[in-house]
């Protein structure tokens, strides 16, 4: 499977990949001029050793490319991780690419993330960020209705501006931003993907980006079952939860 639906309209699509678990093992063995032609238990043990001891450079010889369609609030969280990844201790990875759709050039019908009545969450009791328990259904219905009205008002003003001859790059100022879906390509090494997963599968990550991380995990694990199993902490709990 190369496609995972997320939220109401979003998705993660596997576009391409390079390498395998065997690539990781052979990248590590090149120092000794050794190479395996098929994955053996000895290779699996080597991958486990590399992950356990933090020898992560061999995992950067495997690349994965995804197309992602997500609300802007998810994309900007993701992007902050991307631009910081090459400077984070232990990652050593700058082999990433991010190309995003732009409303300077496209005028396709905007789409927005609208939580269902049961998806609205309250503020956490003992933290300044994150979310707490689900809000009552009645309150959720009211919030969803108000959000739809707000989006419709912004859309009316956006379309009116375009019809009045305003350039698309300025007309977009009328669009409600954080819930608007955008599309991008993300190409990254397997090490970087696993680093992202370890951060965004955590229970205290924003729920929406957790859902996208689970989709990335679901698409990545069949390609690199040994490496992902060893590099990603708590993947079983993430898939069950």
Whole-angstrom distance, CA of residue 13 vs CA of residue 50 = 29
In whole angstroms, what is the distance from residue 128 CA to residue 72 CA?
Answer: 21
Q: Measure the CA–CA gap between 25 and 142, rounded to whole angstroms.
A: 55
Count CB atoms within 10 A of the CB of residue 152: 12
Query: Is 18 in a helix, a strand, or coil?
Result: strand
- Give ∠ CA 209-211-217 in degrees, rounded to 5: 105
Who contacts 223 (Cβ-Cβ below 8 Å, separation ≥6)? 14, 17, 20, 64
What are the φ and ψ backbone dihedral angles of 163, each rounded to 5 degrees? -65, -30
Which of 60, 172, 183, 200 is an active site residue? 200
CA distance 155 to 150: 9
Strand order in the sheet with 97-100: 3-6, 10-18, 63-71, 181-189, 97-100
Give catalytic status of residue 200 as yes or no: yes
Q: Do 189 and 104 meet the contact criterion of CB atoms below 8 Å apart? A: no
Residues known to be catalytic: 200
């Amino acid at each position: 499977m190369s496609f995972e639906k997320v939220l109401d309209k979003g998705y993660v699509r596997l576009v391409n990949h390079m390498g395998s678990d065997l690539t990781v093992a052979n990248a590590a063995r090149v120092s000794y001029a050794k190479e395996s032609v098929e994955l053996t238990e000895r290779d699996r043990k080597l991958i486990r050793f590399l992950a356990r001891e933090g020898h992560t450079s061999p995992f950067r010889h495997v690349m994965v490319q995804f197309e992602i369609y997500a609300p802007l609030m998810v994309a900007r969280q993701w992007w902050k991780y991307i631009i910081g990844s090459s400077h984070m201790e232990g990652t050593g990875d700058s082999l990433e690419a991010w190309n995003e759709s732009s409303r300077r050039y496209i005028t396709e019908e905007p789409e927005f993330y609208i939580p269902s009545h049961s998806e609205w969450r309250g503020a956490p009791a003992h933290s300044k960020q994150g979310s707490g328990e689900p809000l009552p259904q009645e309150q959720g219905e009211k919030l969803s209705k108000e959000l739809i009205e707000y989006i419709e008002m912004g859309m009316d003003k956006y379309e009116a501006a375009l019809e009045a001859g305003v350039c698309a790059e300025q007309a977009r100022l009328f669009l409600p931003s954080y819930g608007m879906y955008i599309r991008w390509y993300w190409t990254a090494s397997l090490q970087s993907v696993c680093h992202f997963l370890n951060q965004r599968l955590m229970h205290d990550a924003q729920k929406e980006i957790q859902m996208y991380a689970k989709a990335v995990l679901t698409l990545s694990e069949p390609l690199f079952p040994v490496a992902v199993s060893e590099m990603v902490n708590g993947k079983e709990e993430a898939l069950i939860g």
